[in-house]
Amino acid sequence: MTANLSETLTLLLIEDDDGDAFLVEELLNQAVAPPKIFRARSLQEAKAQLSPKIQCVLVDLSLPDANRLEALEEVLAIAPHAAVLVLTGLRDVHVGVTAVQAGAQDYLVKQDVDARLLARSIRYSMERKRADLAQLKLVQAELITAENARLESALLPGPLLGSADIEHMTRYLPGSGGTLAGDFFDTVQTPDGAVHLVIGDVCGHGPDEAALGVALRIAWRTLVLAGQTSDTLLRTLDTLLRAERKAPEIFTTLCTATISPDLRRARMLVVGHPPPVLLRGGVVALPDGTPSGPPLGIFADVEWSEIDVPLGDDWSMMLYTDGLIEAAVGEPDGLLGVDGLVNLVREHGTIDLDRLITHVGTLSDDLAVVLVRRRKA
């Protein structure tokens, strides 16, 4: 009866006894698709042959240069993606059980091996290894998801807003890569009734950038609650960014708005960031004036200038990150852009976040949006 190894495998047999090695090779050659077999007589020889092309390792634990489980530990460390099948003698059955507990996929007693049993054990070891790797990937994905959720809650907090005259909405969508980036936003109303908003974007993607975004957001909230605003606030954030970033080329763009207690005016800082969109009495407009200055973390001794914007009695203001205007839309390689965004708001006659986001296509970057509007009396 021939063994049934249905796929051609690449195996490494680590066995110092020539007779035992010959027996195993003969049994493997009876398979429907005989595997490609490499042979090592010691752990040292095996180390030179273990590579990603090896799919399964058959290892004798009685090697001249390794003490029992030492060989297994070395194999598992060097070839973590290979299935490992341990070969033992009659007197070492308990060692085989221990080996499986230590990470091997299966064990065989040499004296009991035939072609059918060997083929079946190899198939079992391969499938169990696939299952182990799939489970590991699942656990890693769950950990990443949990970490992203934790970072997202820190990047995108609930507003500290006590006024019933302000309507506040936010949206956040990760980019096509699914990796959390450094987009952050926050809203705080201070005791004098002024409403402060920030939206920012740390360049790059990944946990380091996200963590830096968390630090900047928390620092912004702390400074605002402590009464710091405008140029002093930005200088402090710039100092923090330079101290905390992992590389000197990391910079941060942001946009802030401070709405006066009577909700009729706003002071804005546009720091290397896309300008807000303002719907004011039915008229779509970008804030008057030039950008306030370059992003944080690029130039030393920068002074940022505020932009004074009249709001009136009926207004909506949207702050966003560049993931929105860099979203694919229309023809291939077409981007929404600031003008496209303004035209959409003008066509809709209002700023409807869900409708707006539905209109854009594939996101190449994270998208964060904050919308505030004055409630009508």
Domains and CATH numbers, the chain: 10-138 (3.40.50.2300), 156-374 (3.60.40.10)
Instruction: Report pLDDT digits (tens) over 45-74.
Output: 998 888 888 999 998 888 888 877 888 888
For residue 365, the SS3 value is: coil
Mean pLDDT of 110-115: 84
Mean pLDDT of 278-299: 88
Higher pLDDT, 91 or 46: 46
Single-letter amino acid, residue 223: L
Q: Which residues of 246-282 are buried (b: 16+ CB within 10 A; e: fewer)?
A: eeeebbbbbbbbbbeeebeebbbbbbbbbbbbbbbee
Residue 1 has pLDDT above 50, yes or no: no
Mean pLDDT of 339-346: 89
Residue 365 has pLDDT above 60, yes or no: yes
Half-sphere exposure of 23 (CA within 13 A, CB side): 14
- List helix spans (H) across 156-206: none
Residue 152 has pLDDT above 70, yes or no: no
State pTM to two decimals.
Answer: 0.63
Residue 220 has pLDDT above 60, yes or no: yes
How far apart CA 154 and CA 217 sit, in angstroms, is: 8
Mean pLDDT of 218-237: 94
Mean pLDDT of 258-283: 93
Residue 212, both tokens: 């830096």
